[in-house]
Amino acid sequence: MSTFNEIRTLIEMSDVIAISGHTSPDGDAIGSCCALAMALKELGKETAVIIDEFPDVFHIIPTGGLLYHSLPEGFAPDLYIALDCGDIERLGKNKELFSQVPNTINIDHHRSNTEFGKLNYVDEDASSTSEIVFKLLYGYAPFNNDIASALYTGIIYDTGGFRHSSTTPATMAIAAELMEYDFNFSDIYNKVFFTRKIGEAKALGLAMERLETCLNGKGVYTYITLEDMKRLGVGSDDLHEITGFIKGIEGCEVSAFVYEKTPDAFKVSMRSDESFDVCKICGAFGGGGHIRAAGCTVEGNPMDIVEKVFKEAEKQL
């Protein structure tokens, strides 16, 4: 693994820096990318964050005007930094550009990370990529309110508001340091975790109606199809709450929320506690993630997919 100093040296040697996170970006991917881009701009670099469209809620994250959904015209990066991506495929349509840029850095916290960069910094004990970016920038680049706000959003998103076991004293110390800056942390917390559209609430209701258990109550699952989404007027971005909610069912040790991404291809979003390694389960279907939060995409119908996934889980009992 590379050191922060090696990464800083490569940044110093570069002038035009592209930054992106994983496809279907979440709070950590967007927060870490925007914070890093704003900080590197302060260091005199030309930077752009290139990232897919994302859920409205994350428009609370400051971008410094550096966010693009595709490569800006005339922007020819000599360095590409991938954040919060476990493997090169997770870059989605940016994969090609990543492969063409002379220097690349991969900074991440997924245990399934394939070290696909020229320099790689992967800390699977970090709560979030935003936490790693804080450490990279600390004492190296100037912070400001916007950078602090972006990193704070990334950290609270990935820790579920400091709930997940990935939260450490270091995470809290970093959050405390960030709170010294002037941004509305209470508003961010409420928007990220407690604000939902009507359609989102209805999708949650439908998913709860379909809730099933298996493995003697240790397994909990539910599903949503494209047809459901059409009927409720929601997109897959409006379903994220379901994943965490079903893990909260009493006695649940491993959960799977299955939702249709494209006709007959379903995303499986898994969560677990000590007894199950969902990264391993999803790995069996070509996906990955963390021990307690992972995902994969599987073709078929939801019931068959659930059966396959929990058969894999059962091996860990």
| Of residues 132-171, those binding ligand AMP (CB under 6 A) | none
Choose which of 31, 64, 77, 86 interacts with ligand AMP (CB under 6 A).
86
Stretch of 35-43, 124-132, 231-239, 295-303 lying at the interface with ligand AMP (CB under 6 A): 295-303
Is 131 a binding residue for Mn ion by CB under 5 A? The answer is no
Task: Specify the stretch interacting with ligand AMP by CB under 6 A; choose among 69-77, 185-193, 287-295, 303-311.
Answer: 287-295
Mark 147-166 with x for binding to Mn ion (rule: CB under 5 A) and - for no binding.
-----------x--------
In 3D space, the residue among 162, 232, 160 whose CA is nearest the CA of residue 197 turns out to be: 232
Cα 206 off chain centre by:
25
The one of Mn ion, ligand AMP, none whose footprint includes residue 290, by CB under 5 to 8 A per kind, is ligand AMP
| Residues facing residue 121 across a β-bridge | 107
Minimum distance, C-beta of residue 184 to ligand AMP, in the bound complex (Å): 25
Q: Which of 19, 26, 104, 282 binds Mn ion (CB under 5 A)?
A: 26
Binding piece for ligand AMP, criterion CB under 6 A, among 122-130, 231-239, 245-253, 290-298: 290-298
Of 91-130, binders to Mn ion (CB under 5 A) are 128-129
Residue 83 CB, nearest approach to Mn ion (Å): 8
CA–CA–CA angle 31, 107, 79 (5° rounding): 95
Any idea which residue has 């991969």 for tokens? 106
Q: Which two tokens stand for residue 152?
A: 């704070």
Q: CA-CA distance, 135 to 51, in Å (whole number)?
A: 23
Q: How far is the CB of 170 from Mn ion (least distance, A)?
A: 16
Q: Closest approach of Cβ 22 to ligand AMP, in Å?
A: 6
What DSSP string describes the chain?
A: ---HHHHHHHHHT-SEEEEE--SS--HHHHHHHHHHHHHHHHTT-EEEEE-----GGGGGS--TT-EESSPPTT---SEEEEES-SSGGGGGGGHHHHHHSSEEEEEE--TT----SSEEEE-TTSS-HHHHHHHHHTTTS---HHHHHHHHHHHHHHHTTTTSTT--HHHHHHHHHHHTSSS-HHHHHHHHHH---HHHHHHHHHHHHT-EEEGGGTEEEEEE-HHHHHHHT--GGGGHHHHHHHHTSTT-SEEEEEEEEETTEEEEEEEE-TT--HHHHHHTTT-EE-SSEEEEEEES-HHHHHHHHHHHHHTT-
Question: Which of 19, 258, 293, 306: binder of ligand AMP (CB under 6 A)?
Answer: 293
Q: Build a one-symbol-per-residue string for 56-85: x at contacts with ligand AMP by CB under 6 A, - elsewhere.
A: ------------------------------
**Residues touching ligand AMP, count (CB under 6 A):** 14
C-alpha 109 chain-centroid distance? 10
> Residue 130 Cβ, how far from ligand AMP at the closest point, in Å?
13
Decide whether 151 or 242 has the Cβ nearer to ligand AMP: 242
29 binds, among ligand AMP, Mn ion, none (CB under 5 to 8 A by kind): Mn ion
25 binds, among ligand AMP, Mn ion, none (CB under 5 to 8 A by kind): none
**Of 104, 243, 255, 272, the one binding ligand AMP by CB under 6 A:** 243
Among 290, 292, 302, 309, binds ligand AMP (CB under 6 A): 290
Which residues pair with residue 271 across a beta bridge? 255, 293
Q: Is 295 in the site for ligand AMP (CB under 6 A)?
A: yes
Which residues contact ligand AMP (rule: CB under 6 A)? 22, 86, 110, 243, 269, 287-290, 293-297
